[in-house]
């Protein structure tokens, strides 16, 4: 059995202390470079593969400094501070330019922690929605990575006509890997970026747009991941402000049982 | 006239290429180390003071790796990638330990950009609330930094009794510097962290808690800052999930005219 496209894409080879080698995978191609979610997952994989790792992911910030090219990249994942129960990481992806000089294409930080059970509650309930089986799958064309997910929009589907009529920026959908793959922290990091640009919905106008920075917080523990398995996640994203070339969006991901698995926030460049 | 406490606290001295020196200011003391907002603003000041700066802040992520001690710190602010209209920064604050070895106390990243006027809209309206003058100022004691802000809670005030009765995690308040100071990007970065820990409100239980990582997105431009001046900001914060020692909260900041100035998201450690 061949390896899942997701595992192929996030695969890393150790390359010295605090460093790895990887490469963008054509199965995850976006308009320019790969889908940002898979790049974020690949960077997080450097943390989770590191021999000095303490705990599990709490926070991940990824800044996309330049388009990731088709060749190999170098990923530095450095545990710059290890406390008793938390660990702080810096992340950088570089690729050689035409002259062979390594150039930064991604920066980032992560926090991991040895988490213990405490009083816990989800303060944002899973929105009311029909079950995944009762929602039609959307078949999207144009870029390759869209084929990697089974997406079933519940609200705020991509506009069918680009007529400038948009009134809100809220999207909700059921989503999971296609083919299915048991949820883990890496796929959760990728899924946090699965939403199309809010500006397209808000304006019903298709303008160039791309994520500049994304931060994801991980609420899931191993038991929640196991309970979620290959089930669908319910994803929700909404813009907050669109201003002078950048808009932000908040996002939440729940499993079918209504457990909040992750929350995310990103800022996105847009033109015009 | 003596310099404003805010300007005293964020002051930096250049210390070689991409580096500065600063020190925590006692006027901003929190339980352990200074208020996180002023530390974030100090780190951002390294970016805004840098001779190679391009544009204005778009995104700032600050990770608190250890309590900032009373002595001098070193701040590295490095423009690792400069594109045509965006610039990517890495941030690190270090302090010597007992042996004199520099240890990381803060990591971070920032994105700045030369922003141009585009189609813009706020997608989250200023919530209905009485005017600042009609809301009573809360006088909070305990830690020094609370005296640096004029806070007027509209909703979700700090619980008066710690009886475990909490039902929600939404706080809203009018807030500005005391004494007043015209709003700029640095004070906006600090104000994004002005909310007390959501877990105290949600549980009506006072447990140890501290921000681990905060990300703020800047929607304000120079004209919006000037229009805001020394007026109040309306701040709103709400938790999303509390799980195994960490909760997250989203936050929004508007000016009195209802313009959205900044949005923020943070993850906070809590005990028990």
Closest CA in chain B for residue A250: B250
* A48-96 confidence digits (pLDDT tens): 999 999 999 999 999 999 999 998 999 999 999 999 999 999 999 999 9
Q: What is the ipTM of this complex?
A: 0.97
Please give the structure tokens belonging to residue B98.
């007992």
Query: What's the average model confidence in pLDDT over A248-255?
Result: 98
pLDDT confidence of residue A47: 98
Of the partner residues B66, B115, B118, the one whose CB lies closest to the CB of residue A83:
B66
Residue-level pLDDT at A246: 97
What is the predicted pLDDT for the residue at B1?
59
Query: C-alpha distances in angstroms, B214 versus B132, B161, B241, B265, B270?
Result: 27, 28, 15, 6, 15
Considering only CA atoms, which of A154, A163, A94 is closest in space to residue A129?
Answer: A154
Mean predicted lDDT score pLDDT of chain A: 96
Instruction: Give B65→chain A minimum CA distance, Å.
Output: 6
CA distance A5 to chain B (A): 30
Inter-CA distances, A228 with A38, A60, A236, A255, Å? 20, 21, 17, 6
User: pLDDT of A138-161, one tens digit each?
Assistant: 988 889 999 999 999 999 999 989
Q: Convert the pLDDT of each residue in B175-206 to its tens digit.
A: 999 999 999 999 999 999 999 999 999 998 89
- Residue B137 has what pLDDT? 97
Q: If we measure between CA atoms, which residue out of B175, B162, B244 comes closest to residue B202?
A: B162
Please report the number of interchain residue pairs, chain A to chain B, with beta-carbon separation below 8 angstroms: 212
pTM of the model: 0.97
CB of B223 closer than 8 Å to CB of B207: no
Instruction: Say what the pLDDT of residue A1 is.
Output: 59
Ranges of residues in chain B whose predicted pLDDT is under 50: none
Per-residue model confidence (pLDDT) at position B160 = 87
Q: For residue A252, which residues of chain B lie inside 8 Å, CB to CB?
A: 240
Task: Nearest by CB to A109, from B63, B86, B241: name it.
Answer: B63
Residues 6+ apart with CB under 8 A from A80: A88, A89, A90, B65, B92, B104, B107
- For an interface test with A, which of B40, B43, B47, B63 has the most A Cβ atoms less than 10 Å from its Cβ? B63
Of B32, B22, B106, which is closest to residue B65 (Cα–Cα)?
Answer: B106
Distance CA A173, CA B13 (A): 50
Could you tell me which chain A residue has the CA closest to the CA of B215? Answer: A215
**How confident is the model at residue A75, as a pLDDT?**
98
Chain A residues inside the 8 Å CB shell of B250? 250, 263, 265
Instruction: Catalogue all structural domains in chain A, each as residue range(s) with its CATH number.
Output: 5-113 (2.40.160.210), 132-270 (2.40.160.210)
Number of Cα atoms under 13 Å in the Cβ half of residue A197: 23
Find the residue in A nearest to B64 (Cα): A88
Which of B60, B65, B216 is the mutation pick for testing A, counting most A CBs within 10 A? B65
Question: How far is the C-alpha of B107 from the C-alpha of A88, rounded, in Å?
Answer: 8
DSSP H stretches of helix in A69-111: none
């Amino acid at each position: 059995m061949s390896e899942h496209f997701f595992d192929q894409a996030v695969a890393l080879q150790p390359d010295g202390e605090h460093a790895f080698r990887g490469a963008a995978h054509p199965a995850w191609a976006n308009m320019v470079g790969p889908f940002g979610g898979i790049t974020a997952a690949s960077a997080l994989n450097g943390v989770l593969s590191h021999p000095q790792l303490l705990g599990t992911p709490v926070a991940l910030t990824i800044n996309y400094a330049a388009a990731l090219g088709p060749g190999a990249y170098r990923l530095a994942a450095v545990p710059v501070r290890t406390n008793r129960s938390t660990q702080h990481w810096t992340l950088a992806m570089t690729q050689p330019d035409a002259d062979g000089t390594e150039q930064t294409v991604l920066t980032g930080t992560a926090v991991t922690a040895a988490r213990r059970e405490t009083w816990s509650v989800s303060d944002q309930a899973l929105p009311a929605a029909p079950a995944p089986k009762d929602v039609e799958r959307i078949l999207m064309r144009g870029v390759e990575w869209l084929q990697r997910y089974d997406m079933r929009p519940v609200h705020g589907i991509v506009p069918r006509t680009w007529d400038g009529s948009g009134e809100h920026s809220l999207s909700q959908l059921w989503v999971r890997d296609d083919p299915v793959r048991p949820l883990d922290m890496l796929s959760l990091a990728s899924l946090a970026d699965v939403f199309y640009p809010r500006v397209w919905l808000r304006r019903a106008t298709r303008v160039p747009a791309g994520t500049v920075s994304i931060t994801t917080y991980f609420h899931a523990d191993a038991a929640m991941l196991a309970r979620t398995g290959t089930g669908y996640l319910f994803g929700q994203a909404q813009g907050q402000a669109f201003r002078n070339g950048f808009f932000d969006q908040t996002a939440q991901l729940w499993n079918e049982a209504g457990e909040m698995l992750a929350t995310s926030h990103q800022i996105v460049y847009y033109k015009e």
